[in-house]
Chain A
Amino acid sequence: MKEGQHDQHIKKYGMVIDLDKCTGCGACMVACMQENNIPFQKDETDKMLSITWLRVFKLDNGKPYPDTDICYLPRPCMHCSGIGEHGHSPCVSVCPATATDYSMETGIVSQIYTRCFGCRYCMAACPYHVRHFNWWDPVWPSGMERSLNPNVSVRMRGVVEKCNFCFQRYQIAKEKAFTEGRTEIEEHEYQPACVEACPANAITFGDLLNPKHKVYKLKQDPRAFRLLEKLHTNPKVYYLSSREWVREAGDNYIENEKVDVEPKKH
């Protein structure tokens, strides 16, 4: 960004997901699908072909019965701000046709479907597997296209798509604010579909830079961790877990490495 353009309206939207509360029920996944016009096939059991912008993973501690433990981990796009928070997330800088972009205003990584020509380099770049390719033409069983959301365009075959923190809701909230003579929106006015749907209130969303937003405090929770911090991708999705093995599962550690997942002291 050029000198002089810096302003206090810069936001960094992010998410804090409380894994202690998450029950793995999948409501977030479906809310996301409904909001974002995600197509479906007759067979969706191959998860590597299935488009789920938000996928709930099941983690286990690998111990035998009855010491086994499992934990669910919902994984939206991490909206990495990249090394040094410069916005060069792993996927953005690799896109040859500038179809994916990082906005310094919101910290959201966007995907422009009409610009994407489907080279899938971004998918190779993303270690979280948040990017999905449209292997098929999107076809709805007769009549079902009636529930499509007009705020999100339907993606054609052959392009990559991913979670965008329901950016359309940000736009809608902005429009409302303009009507009311405001230029900024309130925390509650912009919440992604998954956050809204979560029946356990496990997901919190807001501006990570704004001390008034709930996520600001939550990200400093001693239980907080992010996925693959060692790669310096700088994700904007934080997870909370009171279980050490879960926090440990957030990153790769080599043997005998001192694992720093102890709850931090306040």
Chain B
Amino acid sequence: MKLSRRCFLSFGIGAAAGITLSPLPWKLTDDISIWTQMWPWTPVPPDGAYTYENTVCTLCPGGCGITVRKVDERAVQIAGMEEHPVNKGGTCILGNSGLQLLYGPFRVEAPMKRTGERGEGRWKRISWKEALSEVSSKLNQIRASGNPHQVAAVSGSKEGTVARLINRFMTVYGSPNFMTEPSIQDSYEAMLYLMQGATGSAGFDFENADYILSFGSGIIEGWGAPVRMFLANSNWRTKGTVVQVDSRLSNTAAKMDRWISIEPGTEAALAMGISHVIIKENLYNKGFIKEASEGFDQYKKLVLDAYSPARVSDVAGIDPSVIEEVARAFAASKHPIAICGRGKGDVPGNIHEFMAVHALNALVGNINSKGGVWTLPKNEYIRWPHPIMDKVASLGMQQERVDGAGSKDYPYVQSLLNRFPKKINEGSAYPIEALLVYNSNPLYSMPDTKAVQAAFDKIPFIVSFSSYMDETAKNADLILPNHTYLERYEDVPTPNGLQYPILSLAKPVVKPQLNTMHTGDVIIKLAKCMGNSISGAFGWKDYKGCLKQTLGSRWNQLYKKVYDVDSGFAPNKWVFETPSGKFEFVSSLVKNADENNIGIPHYYPTALEGDEKKYPLIMVPYGSMKRATGYVGSTPFMLKAVSDETLVKNDVLVQINPKTAQNLGLSQGESATLTTPVGEAQVKVNFNEGIRPGMIATPTGLGHTGYDEYMGNGKGVNANQVIGTVEDPLTGLNMAWGIRAKLTRS
């Protein structure tokens, strides 16, 4: 076989030569090279025709116009709508990442019925028909027992047709218990009512203002209509002065022209102190005080007696000269505005602080005039005929609300959601048999989540309309998922803080991706399922028909242009609807206004929850644009943008002054236990020179337990777990800006 070996060798050489002379190795090299550059598991987004559709973002009450870029039927980007007067082309971080809320796997795919224990996460998909019959039979059953008032509804907002449809449903069903998520708007409304007799919301002509005195408002942290505030702030960098009063170096404090650091919770005292200087130095607007105000003398006396800069300086911990300086600058400006409502404005606040701050606007006469604080009428475009109520409904509606809002104890507010869990847990009101939750996530976003959970546990039937598997949906018995905001029609009323009325229309930019249904349609269908006495109030074919009819002649304009500004609106300068027809420094709408100055702007220290000895520190929650705190959670992209000074792996970092931390024997990055009278949380320590010694700041918007891991499940701690509520004595609204706390090494 020696020959064959040589032959074999020869064959091999021939073959090698042949292969080399053939395209095989060269082509193969090229193909393999391409193969290594185009891994088949790397997704390739399909291309197509690009279209751009305008709509309005409804992820927060900011009301920005957005342009959604589509590739064929896929939405691929959200940008600000250039022409929209609110945001003029800008978007916030949440709005920009909205597509993740459209396509995320944490959406509820279809109507779901709970099969396991509550919150366990075991569900059964049901049809819409089944879902509707489930709810209607349950509600009919409650109604048949004569207790329709034992059904409650929570809505994210009280404005807009969907919220109003729910409210209307509740009315004809026979329950007064329609509640909405609280915010500083409630306080502003109550304050405007007390001082100006107005039933409307507050608008601020920031575009024309030249001096802003902000008492802790997070101007660039989500307060008001966020993007509009960013734009206003950018203009102030060259054409205005902003003074931020804050007990910590918030982003706003850092970015504004001047930061005045005060003792936390003494904003009202400082406002009164500034008043003192303005009045004492005769810097106030005499015309306004003379012509348009009432009770000035009494207010003046109070201010001069009790709020001298020296005394305020003791309380607020600042130099008296600072008070004088700010007062003079404020009064000397052409269009100064004083604003309040802390941080993002999701906690209403102390009404007397609002009054004290607003009194400053009155002193300079900058109310309902250019560059000042305006009163906007209630959104009046929804003019539905009063529903006809049957006897059951009428009786039900005569029952007192479970949260006490509008009762003789709390006459100035329409909803007190903060009192709801308390009343249920106390068992002092009638029981709630069923709860409908729309555009709201109370189990996450309400203070003292433990108490809220306990209250919800007592409610036998909870229906969520959420598009997402949020905490409340997860704890519901039935989920009737709504379309997401990019899949549905919705009217968007004037955003918070805007000084002129504007109506926008959100339109579906993509087809519904899942088996969801517009909550408006669900309510109309539900009403139709429930018999004549209820369905009679819902004469519309569907939600779109309802909306079209409601908007009437404005529909076409809105459909084409997305927004419609009420150009005829102008504020009634110095005209007030109080009994005296004037701006009332001493509110005549408050009984015994003099008693403890209850009807007059004044300062009193907030009684924070907790014993000072046991809890030597003060904990304040703080928000950021980078973390969504409302109904929707932070998107994966937002969590990517969250700083490593806030979150490290799954641990939240609480901000603390290095000196305080060293006194407690804590070092940077160390694990610690944060304890408050309400709860306890495992945290890590972050040294932050921007925090006042003796205080801790805890980031909000973290620690979700619904959604999924990409949306921050298990990341950090929900700040609402460790903060409680403090009731404002006059309005009943929550005014807790902090809580006593201790931080111990763990």
Interface residues of A (CB under 8 A from B): 18, 20-21, 23-27, 29-31, 33-35, 37, 40, 42-47, 50, 52, 56, 58, 60, 62-66, 68-72, 114-115, 137-138, 140-151, 153-157, 193, 196-202
Chain B hits for A144, CB < 8 A:
100, 103-105
Chain A residues with Cβ below 8 Å from B95 are 27
The contact of A199 among B227, B635, B650, by CB within 8 Å, is B227
Top 10 closest pairs, chain A to chain B, by CB: A199-B90, A148-B45, A114-B37, A26-B641, A23-B220, A66-B261, A25-B625, A199-B230, A150-B47, A147-B99
Complex Cα distance, B43 from A149, in Å, reads 11
Whether the Cβ atoms of B640 and A40 lie closer than 8 Å is yes
The reply to whether the CB of B259 lies closer than 8 angstroms to some CB of chain A is yes
Q: Flag if A199 contacts B231 (CB, 8 Å).
A: yes
Q: Which residue of B lies closest to A198 (CB)?
A: B90
B45, B76, B657, B690: the one contacting A154 at CB < 8 Å is B45
When the two chains form the complex, which single residue of A21, A64, A72, A199 contacts B91, counting CB atoms closer than 8 Å? A199
A146-B74, A149-B45 known; A200 vs B230 contact (CB < 8 Å)? yes
User: Which residues of chain B are near A27, meaning CB under 8 Å?
Assistant: 90-93, 95-96, 625
Indicate which residue in B48, B261, B636 contacts A150 across the interface (CB closer than 8 Å): B48
Interface stretch of the complex, out of B77-85, B191-199, B548-556: B77-85
Q: Are B642 and A45 in contact (CB under 8 A)?
A: yes
Q: How far is the CA of A35 from the CA of B637 in the complex (A)?
A: 12
25 contacts between A and B (CB under 8 A): A18-B237, A23-B221, A31-B91, A33-B97, A34-B96, A43-B649, A45-B647, A60-B690, A64-B689, A65-B249, A65-B690, A70-B254, A142-B105, A143-B105, A144-B105, A146-B74, A147-B77, A147-B103, A150-B47, A150-B71, A151-B47, A154-B43, A197-B90, A199-B90, A199-B92
Chain A nearest CB from B325 CB (Å) reads 16
On whether the beta carbons of A23 and B625 are closer than 8 Å, the reply is yes
Q: Given known contacts A65-B261, A70-B254, A141-B104, is B39 in contact with A156 (CB within 8 Å)?
A: yes
A68 to B255, CA, bound (A): 12
User: Which residue of chain B has the shortest Cβ distance to A113 in the bound complex?
Assistant: B37
A56 x B710 contact (CB < 8 A): no
Contact A114 B38 (CB under 8 A): yes
Given A26-B625, A44-B640, A65-B657: A145 in contact with B45 (beta carbons within 8 A): yes
Contact partners of B113 in chain A: CB under 8 A:
none
Closest B residue by C-beta to A50: B640
Decide: B637 and A21 in contact? CB cutoff 8 A. no
A200 neighbours in B (Cβ, 8 Å) = 90, 220, 230-231, 233-234
Q: A70 and B249 in contact (CB under 8 A), knowing A37-B45, A199-B80? A: yes
Chain A, residue nearest B91 (CB)? A197
| Residue contact B692 to A196, C-beta cutoff 8 Å | no
Q: Could you say which residues of chain B place their CB within 8 Å of the CB of A31?
A: 79, 91, 96
Whether B76 pairs with A149 at a CB distance below 8 angstroms is: yes
Contact in complex: A42, B233 (CB < 8 Å): no
B481 CB → nearest A CB, Å: 15
Q: How far is A218 from B159 in the complex, measured between Cα atoms in Å?
A: 43
Residue among A46, A64, A148 facing the most chain B CB atoms (10 A cut-off): A148
Which residues of chain B from 209 to 225 have a CB within 8 Å of any chain A CB? 220-221
A residues near B41, Cβ cutoff 8 Å: 137
Contact among A30, A45, A62, A201 for B96, CB-based, below 8 A:
A30
B648 interface contact, C-beta 8 A: yes
Assess whether B644 is interfacial by the CB under 8 Å rule: yes
Q: With CB as the reference atom, state the residue of chain A lying closest to B76.
A: A149
B527 CB, min distance to chain A CBs, angstroms: 33
Alpha-carbon separation in the docked complex, A70 to B643 (Å): 14
Q: B568: CB under 8 A from chain A?
A: no
Report which residue of B89, B93, B251 has the largest number of chain A beta carbons within 10 angstroms of its beta carbon: B93
Query: Do residues A141 and B105 form an inter-chain contact, with CB atoms below 8 A?
Result: yes
Report Cα–Cα, A25/B90, bound state, in Å. 12
In the complex, what residues of B have CB within 8 A of residue A143's CB?
A: 103-105, 513
Residue B87 is within 8 A (CB to CB) of chain A in the complex: yes
Residue from A45, A144, A149, A198 with most neighbouring chain B CB atoms (10 Å): A45
Asked if B663 CB lies within 8 Å of chain A CBs, one says no
Q: Smallest distance from the beta carbon of B217 to chain A beta carbons, Å?
A: 14
A145–B100 CA distance with the chains assembled, in angstroms: 9
Interface 1/0s, chain B 90-129, versus A by CB < 8 A? 1111011101101111000000000000000000000000
Whether the Cβ atoms of B231 and A201 lie closer than 8 Å is yes
Is A30 in contact with B97, judged by CB distance below 8 angstroms? yes
- Chain A residue nearest in CB terms to B71: A150
Are A150 and B640 in touch, CB under 8 angstroms? no
B401 within 8 A of A: no
Whether the Cβ atoms of A141 and B47 lie closer than 8 Å is no
Given contacts A40-B710, A154-B43, contact A34 B625 (CB under 8 A): no
Considering residues B226, B643, B689, which has the most beta carbons from chain A within 10 angstroms of its beta carbon? B689
Q: Which of B627-657 contact A (CB under 8 A)?
A: 635-645, 647-650, 657
Contact with A along B28-56 (1 / 0, CB 8 A): 00000000011101111111100000000
Tell me, in angstroms, the Cα distance from A20 to B234 when the chains sit together.
8
Contacts of B43 in A (CB 8 A): 138, 140, 145, 148, 154
Cβ–Cβ contact A20 & B237, under 8 A: yes
Chain A: minimal CB distance from B326 (Å): 15
On chain A, the residues within 8 Å of B226 by CB distance are 199
How far apart are the CA atoms of A31 and B230 in the complex, in Å? 17
Besides A30-B97, A30-B640, A200-B233, 15 other A-B contacts (C-beta < 8 A): A50-B640, A58-B645, A62-B689, A65-B691, A66-B261, A70-B249, A138-B42, A143-B105, A146-B103, A147-B102, A148-B76, A149-B71, A156-B42, A197-B96, A199-B91
Complex Cα distance, B99 from A82, in Å, reads: 38
Check if B297 is an interface residue, CB within 8 A of chain A. no
Which of A34, A143, A148 has the most C-beta atoms of chain B within 10 angstroms of its own C-beta?
Answer: A34
A49 to B513, CA, bound (A): 33
Is B518 close to A, CB under 8 A? no
Inter-chain contacts of B645 with A (CB < 8 A) = 58
Q: Which of A50, A58, A64, A141 has the most CB atoms of chain B within a 10 A radius of its CB?
A: A141
B61 within 8 A of A: no
Contacts of A150 in B (CB 8 A): 45-48, 71, 76
